[in-house]
Chains A and B, each alone.
Chain A
Amino acid sequence: MDILLQQIINGLVLGSMYALIALGYTMVYGIINLINFAHGEVLMVGALTSWTIIGWMQTAMPGTPGWIILIIALIIACVVAATLNFTIEKVAYRPLRNSPKLAPLITAIGMSILLQTIAMIIWKPTNKAYPNLLSTTPIQVGGAVISPTQVMILSVTAFCLVVLMWLVNYTKLGRAMRATAENPRVAALMGIRPDMVISATFIIGAVLAAVAGVMYASNYGIAQHAMGFIPGLKAFTAAVFGGIGNLAGAVVGGILLGLIEAIGSGYIGALTGDILGSHYSDIFAFIVLIIMLTLRPSGLLGERVADRA
């Protein structure tokens, strides 16, 4: 029972990070129907920027409390990531908005490789130890333990989700975004500037990705140039799982995926008599996804979209 509780906590932490990343994917997809392959790299840039800032602040201002450093690093990482994603959209996706569907996908993949390469040049292709800025004393919950970093991840995610829901549902920008996702041309006729809405979407997605990147790095204590790839992939899976283009779906998909992965890798060894071990955890996501999409091709919460692809 304790193990189950522990795995549920781990799964929630993992899942909330997936949810943050998946939101970026699903918002971009909902508006311009593009799989933004470079999204995971935005996360990586956010994490590495915060790593640089933290290292710099720790030497320049020793004695500053850890959480202040973390917040400042987080804000700077968000700004850098937002600028980056805004630029990427402007340079690589906007000119291709009316071209064949695969063209922006290829530039997105190209952007992803380019960002990884540039990160390798700037930060060198080594693993960097990401400092733990919060206290390391674990907190007992029932029979399981939860670290302060994990508590922070859960609360920051909850905060981000509330802000995002408010932004999308109760502000003018949010209404414009929903209208553009529904039908860009009609939205434009109603006086919405699609270009502006799309830029805003990329900026919001980048901020969420940067937050997730900082969380991811502090959870695993490591940062490097290729770190964005796997979480990006899983988060995209989560977005599809929940029904791509649907915000609530991305959150539900992300958290479910995290839970499935954590519980699955905790129990698969015992279930199969050690034939399949936890090193198969990376493929749970995909197996669940394939089964899920076979049964319900438009995702968990996805509406039946008539062939937009």
Chain B
Amino acid sequence: MQDTKKIVSIAIAAIGLLALPLLLQSQGNAWVRIADIALLYVLLALGLNIVVGYAGLLDLGYVAFFAIGAYMFALLGSPHLTDTFPAMKAMFPNGMHSSLLLIIPAAFGLAALFGVLLGAPTLKLRGDYLAIVTLGFGEIIRVFLNNLDHPFNLTNGPKGITAIDPVHFWGLNLGKAFKIGSYSISSVSLYYYLFLALVLITILISHRLQLSRIGRAWMAIREDEIAAKAMGINTRNMKLLAFGMGASFGGVSGAMFAAFQGFVSPESFSLMESVMIVAMVVLGGIGHLPGVILGAVLLAALPEVLRYVAAPLQAMTDGRLDASILRQLFIALAMIIIMLVRPRGLWPTPEHGKSLQRKGAPPAPVPGSTQAHAPGVPTPADEIAGEASRPMSINP
């Protein structure tokens, strides 16, 4: 009974997600674009959730990995390199139009490499020191992107790289509308499906990681690093793995962003973006997948929607409250109010810590009379009935 209900609700959600762009498309492609951007942010937030949510390492420079992915795609998929360097022109006379199947693993790998590079010198740092170093790393990457048009033109400086190829694979070009008979699916909707697929894969990976030995090790490090070490966890490797895994999702998401926009410039990768991604993770419910997704969708999409509703308000205040100001105002108020009302996020993990008493749960057992038991271990016969039904979880 429970299972059929679950299957039905999943099916409804799936149909809803698949039909969404087709419905939005009839209202104008701008709406589908908003959905696309929201999905990209979900991808970023899920990646950051591995670092911040699972391993508890506060990363304020996450957008650097996004930038690395985006610039990698921009260089591989635009005429910029072949135009600038004659040697490249000789190697690829027709330009490098790299395929998606090459780009996703490459972005994944490159960003992971940078993640480990960032992680290695910061292993000893904790908490806020780590936050400021990662923040600095993000700024360093941005400044380099901004200035590497000299002495050799790699990133084209603040002007950014234009004319990036759209995603194409198996003969399908996502830059053009896809026609089935007389019905056409617009380019942005095709991107929607691609991003949706990537998000689903990421959710799957995150979910499996969370339940795995690695995920438990991360959470142990988050709760108490010294204790985790004492339990035999190799904290160094686990932290590097968290940085690498988190960064790689950022890189893939960046590559998709570059293909989707067709244009990248250092402006898109400011510190504010990193901060927004952290805000998405924390607002939604740190370390909890549905919460993180909710936070990302909320912060990414709602202000954009608001932008379209804002026009009359703007007219009323003779231009002082224009759309972008209103959007910022909304984001800021949302961040403050949500945190004040729900400090653990909108949709936090159901159980947190050991000392937390659930509402309606039986009173705490007398010390020594019952011990909490590990999942999968059969309940001893003398266990208090109510206590046994309480699900155990290592989740926060």
- Check A287 against B140 for contact (C-beta < 8 Å): yes
Q: Which of B339-367 contact A (CB under 8 A)?
A: 339-340, 343-344
Question: Is B335's CB under 8 angstroms from A297's CB?
Answer: no
In the complex, what distance in Å separates the CA atom of A106 from the CA atom of B125? Answer: 21
Q: Mark B259-300, 1 if CB is under 8 A from A, else 0.
A: 000000000000100010011001100100000000000000
Expressed in whole angstroms, the minimum distance between the Cβ of A31 and any Cβ of chain B is 14
Within the complex, what minimum Cβ distance (angstroms) separates A227 from chain B?
15
Q: Is B375 an interface residue (CB 8 A)?
A: no
Docked Cα-Cα span, A95 to B340, in Å, equals: 7
Query: Which of the segments B12-20, B126-134, B382-390 contacts the partner chain?
Result: B126-134
List chain A residues, Cβ under 8 A from B325: 117, 120-121, 125
Q: Does A271 make an interface contact (CB < 8 A)?
A: no
Docked-complex contact A290 and B133, CB < 8 angstroms: yes
Question: B339 to A103, Cβ gap below 8 A?
Answer: yes
Whether the Cβ atoms of B340 and A113 lie closer than 8 Å is no
Interface flag for B76 (CB, 8 Å): no
Say which size band chain B's interface belongs to: 35 or more
- A113 contacts across to B, CB distance below 8 A: 328, 331-332, 335
A244 vs B133: C-alpha distance when bound (angstroms): 13
- In the assembled complex, the Cα of A279 lies from the Cα of B156 at a distance in Å of 15
Q: Is the CB of A286 within 8 A of B128?
A: no
Contact code string A244-274 (vs B, CB < 8 Å = 1, else 0):
1000000000000000000000000000001
Question: A47-75: which residues lie under 8 A (CB-CB) from chain B?
Answer: none
Task: Identify the stretch in A141-149, A166-174, A200-208, A232-240 within 8 Å (CB) of chain B at 4 or more residues.
Answer: A232-240
Q: For residue B235, give the distance in angstroms from its CB to the closest CB of chain A.
A: 13
CB-CB under 8 A from A105, the residues of chain B are 282
| Chain A residue with Cβ nearest B333 | A114
Cα of A99 to Cα of B348 in the assembled complex, Å: 13
| Closest B residue, CB atoms, query A305 | B126
Take A35-B131, A244-B128, A307-B225 as given contacts and tell me if A286 and B332 are in contact as well, using a CB distance cutoff of 8 Å.
no
Q: Are B340 and A121 in contact (CB under 8 A)?
A: no
Instruction: Give the secondary structure class of B's interface.
Output: helix
| Least Cβ–Cβ distance between B336 and chain A, in angstroms | 4
A209 within 8 A of B: no
Measured in the bound complex, the distance between the Cα atoms of B104 and A210 in whole Å is 48
Expressed in whole angstroms, the minimum distance between the Cβ of B4 and any Cβ of chain A is 37
- For residue B213, CB closer than 8 A to chain A, the reply is no
- The reply to whether the CB of A187 lies closer than 8 angstroms to some CB of chain B is no
On chain A, the residues within 8 Å of B283 by CB distance are 106
The answer to whether A96 and B339 touch (CB under 8 A), given A117-B325, A286-B140, A290-B136, is yes
**Do the beta carbons of A307 and B126 come within 8 Å of each other?**
yes
- Chain A nearest CB from B345 CB (Å) reads 8
CB distance from B354 to the nearest CB of A (A): 15
On whether the beta carbons of A280 and B137 are closer than 8 Å, the reply is no
A-B contact count (CB 8 A): 138
- Bound: A92/B52 CA distance, A: 22
Determine how close the nearest CB of chain A comes to the CB of B72; give it in whole angstroms.
Answer: 21
- Is A121's CB under 8 angstroms from B320's CB? yes
Known: A286-B136, A294-B124. A110 touches B332 (CB 8 A): yes
Q: A282-B139, A286-B137, A290-B137 are in contact. Are A309 and B127 (CB under 8 A)?
A: yes
Q: Provide the residues of chain B in CB contact with A309, threshold 8 Å.
A: 126-129
Q: Are B128 and A106 in contact (CB under 8 A)?
A: no
| A17 CB to nearest chain B CB (Å) | 19
A71-129 residues with Cβ-Cβ distance < 8 A to B are: 92, 95-96, 99-107, 109-111, 113-114, 116-118, 120-121, 124-125
> Given A96-B343, A237-B132, A289-B136, A102 and B286 touching (CB < 8 A)?
yes
A42 vs B147: C-alpha distance when bound (angstroms): 31
Instruction: Give the Cβ gap from A209 to chain B, nearest Cβ, in Å.
Output: 18
Q: How far, in Å, is B143 (CB) from chain A's closest CB? A: 5
Q: Given the complex of chains A and B, what is the CA–CA distance between A121 and B318 in angstroms?
A: 12
B87 within 8 A of A: no
- Centre residue among A110, A282, A290 by max chain B CB count within 10 A: A110
Docked Cα-Cα span, A282 to B143, in Å, equals 8
Q: Is B121 an interface residue (CB 8 A)?
A: yes
Contact of A117 among B131, B144, B328 (CB under 8 A): B328
List of B residues within 8 angstroms of A189 by Cβ = none
A164: Cβ under 8 A from any B Cβ: no
Tell me, in angstroms, the Cα distance from A121 to B286 when the chains sit together: 33
Residues from chain B with a CB closer than 8 A to the CB of A106 are 278-279, 282-283, 335, 339
Known contacts A114-B333, A121-B320; A293/B125 CB under 8 A: yes
Q: Which residues 271-301 of A sit at the B interface, judged by CB distance below 8 A?
A: 274-275, 277, 279-280, 282-283, 285-287, 289-290, 293-294, 297-299
Are B124 and A297 closer than 8 Å at their CB atoms?
Answer: yes
B329 at the interface (CB under 8 A from A): yes
| A–B pairs, 24, beta carbons within 8 Å | A92-B340, A95-B340, A96-B343, A101-B127, A102-B278, A103-B344, A107-B335, A107-B339, A109-B275, A114-B332, A114-B333, A120-B325, A124-B320, A237-B132, A244-B129, A279-B143, A280-B147, A283-B136, A289-B136, A294-B122, A294-B124, A297-B124, A308-B127, A309-B126
7 other A-B residue contacts (CB within 8 Å) besides A106-B335, A120-B328: A275-B151, A277-B147, A279-B146, A286-B133, A286-B140, A293-B125, A297-B124
Residues of chain B at the chain A interface (Cβ within 8 Å): 52, 58, 121-122, 124-129, 131-133, 135-137, 139-140, 143-144, 146-147, 150-151, 225-226, 271, 275, 278-279, 282-283, 286, 320-321, 325, 328-329, 331-336, 339-340, 343-344
A interface list, Cβ under 8 A from B? 29, 33, 35, 92, 95-96, 99-107, 109-111, 113-114, 116-118, 120-121, 124-125, 233, 236-237, 240, 244, 274-275, 277, 279-280, 282-283, 285-287, 289-290, 293-294, 297-299, 307-309
